Amino acid sequence: MHDGVAAYALGVLDDEEHEQFERHLETCARCQAELVELAGLPEQLDELRHVPSVSGEDPR
């Protein structure tokens, strides 16, 4: 997996990195496929924020 795929999917790249990765993405079928696989990741992580912890404590 290309390091930038997850960062791109999560929206954590700065503007310059975002633009560079988008240019890379235009020509890299492997990263395009990985991005499709990770497309739902931000929503899944957001859902986990609302799941009560096993210990009953709120996560920090």
> Which residues fall within 8 angstroms of residue 42, CB to CB, at 6 or more apart?
9, 10, 11
Residue 56 reports pLDDT greater than 80: no
pLDDT of residue 38: 86
The better pLDDT of the pair 28, 42 is held by: 28
Alpha-carbon gap, residue 33 to 57, rounded angstroms:
38
Please report, rounded to a whole number, the percentage of residues in the chain having pLDDT higher than 90: 45
Span 27-44, mean pLDDT? Answer: 87
Tens digits of per-residue pLDDT, 7-30? 998 889 999 999 999 999 999 999
Model confidence pTM above 0.75: no
